[in-house]
Amino acid sequence: MKLLNLTLACLGAVLLAAGPAEARTERATVALTFDDLPALTIVKDQAYVNDLNAMLLRGLKRHKIPATGFVNESKLDDLDRPQQIGVLEQWLDASMDLGNHTFSHESPNTLGAADYIADIARGEPVTRGLLAQRHRRLGWFRHPYLETGTPEAVKREIDAWLRGHGYRIAPVTIDADDWEFAEPYDDAVVRHDEEGRKRIRGVYLDYTAKTILWYRAAARALFGRDIAYVMLLHATRLNADSIDDLAAILKRANMRPITLRQAMKDPAYRIRDPYAGKDGIEWLERWSMALHKELPWDSFSEVPKEIEIAYDRIDPDR
């Protein structure tokens, strides 16, 4: 009996020690989502936007990765409107899906329910039309900043409107803050700083690989298993230039890319989101409140300081 206890204790220790390594090898699935279409960039240039989308879509196709892009239709008028719409068409022609990310990328915390709902409705006509031309339906909504509305009455009103208008909320269960790396990267591209580009991309990919494993550990803390993850990314030059490396990271992590629709079949996504605070937090954190379980915050890594500093230098009104 003593020997058995000892053996079980050893086995336990081995299993505990195997945490992150185990997460790396076990199979899982992930749906990639790209926000802020046609593009998130500090470069106000149509060719730049066209090129980064063409590269991103080529990469996604090359690696057989389905993706959903979330559109801010206010951006269509930032540059050449027909070409901006052309970018959205390229996403659909590449067999990707599109969703609504509001018209102007404002927060419900500042707009209130009525104006926020108006901003959602204003954000759909072009995207809905392009999908309809292809006999498809607009059905996904992603909250900018992942801010879902506060206080609770505001959130409930927005949720009810979305449901009533055939939208399903696209939650996020992996978020490696790619937006924060993307502006310093754009800046390096514009300055023809090859060394800087390489460094930022390296730091970004290391951080992303590490953060994916943290989210997998977090899901296991809540559910005792991997869920079908939904990863938040943005339509950026950084991701266009990194798509081969991102695909390799997923492959190394034994994560198979699937569509958002497939991922959302995971029963985890049926859990109520109880959070009605002001912060834009991802869904594992929301569910940890519903399930009264802790996430492994001790092992969470923040975005590297050098990236934060570089971002604040370029975009001081964070």
SS3 string, the chain, reads CHHHHHHHHHHHHHHHHCHHHHHHHCCEEEEEEEEEECCCCCCCCHHHHHHHHHHHHHHHHHCCCCEEEEECHHHHHCCCHHHHHHHHHHHHHCCCEEEECCCCCCCHHHHHHHHHHHHHHHCCHHHHHHHHHCCCCCCEECCHHHCCCCCHHHHHHHHHHHHHCCCEECCCCEECCHHHHHHHHHHHHHCCCHHHHHHHHHHHHHHHHHHHHHHHHHHHHHHCCCCEEEEEEECCHHHHHHHHHHHHHHHHCCEEECCHHHHCCCHHHHCCCCCCCCCCCCHHHHHHHHHCCCCCHHHCCCCCHHHHHHHHHHCCCC
- Based on the shown chain and the rule CB under 5 A, indicate whether residue 177 belongs to the binding site for Zn ion: no
Q: Which of 31, 36, 170, 257 binds Zn ion (CB under 5 A)?
A: 36
CB contact at 8 A, 311 and 183? yes
- Based on the shown chain and the rule CB under 5 A, indicate whether residue 99 belongs to the binding site for Zn ion: no
Candidates 161, 139, 138, 137; CA nearest to 148 is 161
Tell the smallest beta-carbon distance from residue 234 to Zn ion (Å).
7
Tell the smallest beta-carbon distance from residue 70 to Zn ion (Å).
7
36 versus 285: smaller Cβ distance to Zn ion:
36
CA torsion angle 10 16 20 22 (round to 10):
50
101 versus 216: smaller Cβ distance to Zn ion:
101
Which residues sit opposite 169 in a β-bridge? 141
Tell the smallest beta-carbon distance from residue 238 to Zn ion (Å).
15
Tell the smallest beta-carbon distance from residue 34 to Zn ion (Å).
10
φ and ψ of 295, to 5 deg: -90, 155
Judged by CB under 5 A, the stretch of 21-29, 32-40, 120-128, 297-305 that binds Zn ion is 32-40
Residues 263-292 that bind Zn ion (CB under 5 A): none
Judged by CB under 5 A, the stretch of 35-43, 84-92, 130-138, 152-160 that binds Zn ion is 35-43
Residue nearest to Zn ion (CB): 35
Judged by CB under 5 A, the stretch of 28-36, 89-97, 192-200, 304-312 that binds Zn ion is 28-36
35 versus 124: smaller Cβ distance to Zn ion:
35
Say how many residues touch Zn ion, by CB under 5 A. Answer: 3
- Based on the shown chain and the rule CB under 5 A, indicate whether residue 35 belongs to the binding site for Zn ion: yes
35 versus 187: smaller Cβ distance to Zn ion:
35
Tell the smallest beta-carbon distance from residue 21 to Zn ion (Å).
34
Residues 125-154 that bind Zn ion (CB under 5 A): 144
Tell the smallest beta-carbon distance from residue 101 to Zn ion (Å).
6
Tell the smallest beta-carbon distance from residue 103 to Zn ion (Å).
12
180 versus 266: smaller Cβ distance to Zn ion:
180
36 versus 73: smaller Cβ distance to Zn ion:
36
141 versus 215: smaller Cβ distance to Zn ion:
141
124 versus 226: smaller Cβ distance to Zn ion:
124
Residues that bind Zn ion (CB under 5 A): 35-36, 144
